[in-house]
Structure 1
Amino acid sequence: MAIGRKEREPFALEHASVATGNADGKILHDTTIVVGSDGRIEQISPSAKAFVPAGYHHIDASGKVVAPGLINAHTHLFAEGKLIQGKDASPRQEKAALALIHSPLGKAYLAAKVRSNVKALLNSGVTTIRSLGDAGYEMVALRDKVDSDDVLGPRILASGPMLAIPGGHGDPYIALSSSTPEQARLNARINLEHGVNAIKIAATGGVTDAKEVGVAGTPQMDEESMAAICEEAHEAGVIVAAHAQSAAGVRAALKAGVDTIEHGSPMDEELVELYRHNPRALRGFSGLNSTLSACLPLVKVSQEELGISDIIRANSEQVTSGMVQGARDGHKYGISEGVGTDTGMTLVTQYNTWRELDLMVRYAGFTPAEAFHAATQVNAKNLGVDDVTGSIAIGKDADLIVLDGDPAQDLRVLEHPNLVIARGWPVWRPKVKHIAEVDRLVETF
């Protein structure tokens, strides 16, 4: 992934069809896109009228479709999405694992793993990611290397550890815990001082680390503590996500001012209004990432094949129907619904972002064009990066993918991009290493 040079080569993608990412699936025919040495789009015009300056590299895109790069708003980079073992770790094992994670050897291993996983995301066509729950600040370090062009990678919004209650979701492996609003505010400040540009709260219990049936979706952090975190983050211009898998948890998180809800629940009139007009959110509204890729495998694939415990299965069944209904409600009521997959969780690989779009079509009522719109323009707006990415426009970064067909008509063309371009840097012949067993199980539903 090392770039090895600081100067991008300017180029022109000529004679392409351009999938705009609009909700109506609009496409531009025989179009040329000119990209400068700063990695930004300089020109979009009919090929017959295009002017390509001398010294620019010409790329013939005849018969291909150029589209905005995908945005994945919910990733974890410490795992690949392989099958997990359902046995709970003992306190002694947990203590040993924590010591290893935070040791010099563990940090070096984790840095290499996240770099490999980020490469898989990029090669699959994802040009912007947001991490939501890291072991430490390894994603901050990688983001800085990408921003300085030392490493080729997607745009990164890095959260660092999530913020939870003691023993709550994510604690102790990928969370800082607190018991009071003052401690919660301090933990937010600690993350910000480490350079994060995203923050995540565990508003409710989760599935994979639950030790009892009924934990998933149960409210954990109180509204006052979440509000303190949001205030601290918003003062720094940083948006806040909340893991929330029940109506009670979603309601408290929205009232506290979170900017995106991760996973979600069925919506009533109050929740719909809070999503649309949230006075405590940074930009006056809150988005939703339903992460269907993370919940559906745990109930659609047999427990025997997954190898998960009875507790994980029961907690999955407890929240999945609500998450799916929340996705449907979000589409029905015009919520700003984006795309996040929860990469690294069971059967959620780093390279299958396109499958989330497919699930939104199959289970939540989206058209393919609307799902692709959610993964590009809507995600960019929800994450506050729509001034630089999410669409193909003059002055924006060249975050592009070159495909064999129109994703607004057939989402599966996203599975194998011919070319990925991140901030003007090309990834020629992008390839990812597939996990055959995971792919087989996911294909079953």
Structure 2
Amino acid sequence: MTTDLLWSPPCPGTGMSPNLRLNEIVTDRRRHGLDTLHLGFGEARLPLVPELEEVLAGAAADTAYAPVAGTPAAREAVAGYFRRRRLPTHPAQVVLAPGSKPLLFAVFTALGGDVYLPAPCWNSYAPQVALSGRAPVPVPIGGTYGGLPDPALLERRIGEDLRRGVRPAAVVVNSPDNPTGTSVPREAMRELCRVARDAGLTLVSDEIYRDLHHEGGDRFASPAELAPERTVVCTGLSKSLAIGGWRIGGARFPAGASGAGLRDRTLAVASEVWSALAAPMQAVAAYAFAEPPAITERLRRSARMHGSVSRACHTICRSHGAAARRPTAGFYVYADFEARRRDLARHGVVDSASLAQQLLDRFGIAVLGGHHLGDDPRRLAFKVATTGFVGETPEEQSAALDAADAAGLPHVRRRLRWLDSALAALTAPPTDWTR
């Protein structure tokens, strides 16, 4: 079964999101009996925290519309979450939504201007900006970390745009980031905040992976600490607590008149698009963002597990000649095989699309090519969502959560070897039989 993944929409927002499309392709392959290693979709794939199920069951009878911004209890819980992370927050600064994804779109719409994006970045930023009627402007990331437009390149691009009469509105920061699985150092974040302040830009900080630092502790620098007057922070529970299907997101807006104005415009979009986060999910948000022991313990175990598996995947990619930043948070590895271009060309691999296609058609491995992430489509790069190694059954997933070193479990090792063998076959130099 061959499925064409080479096509990508000619402009952002004109086709189905590529990660969701790939997820459906994998489902279809499996329905046809094709064994597939799914490394192309950023779903945490872990058992539900039992206490969350109890909270949801207890709130299931609440069928009324909630307030657009969220219930007082849920907004207070989100405010407390941010206060514990060095961000003084009043509940009036908080908005909840059915996932951080619609929140980001509403913020982009409310900002009303072009938006600078790190390149590569999560595949939905550019389409969302385009769908809001503005231009997404990619700016390459730095050399040792992702999630942030290189501050020097950004400053240069802003100058060029202003000379052309273009008035940008915002810059997106995603730390820890998708796709490289790295965090932005404080000094680099500080420099980006300076550039944003000088240009009058709003910072939109997507911090949905913040609680999954592999080494534990709070090693994170939010732009909201460094430029509080101009930073909107978006977060959610999909990644940290593996409840993506429940769609719970939250945003923190700056204090003061300008922040309140942006929040009001965002709420205006929300009121016309999603009305409110479902009432039972408001109860879940109030519980989870308050971070009782059951939640903090799950976060600790998840971070440990993701670190073990991501490091093992990183080692495999590097062993076959890929350039890849060392993952420190979240569950991604971004691998660039430019150094093996000659060997890959023997298999018809000439760009990121054909590389992803070869991995799927020949080896049954689904990855998301870099061309879907704003990278140069000619670059031989792809993203691995390392949760695909963890397991397909609750038993496998629970074992990975419990293990001191999840990468050492037999079922995880088997999937890691699957990728290892495929990359070995694609990158092996030709054998000289004349010697």
Greater share of strand? 1
Q: What's the TM-score, normalizing by structure 2?
A: 0.28
Q: What's the TM-score, normalizing by structure 1?
A: 0.27
Greater share of helix? 2
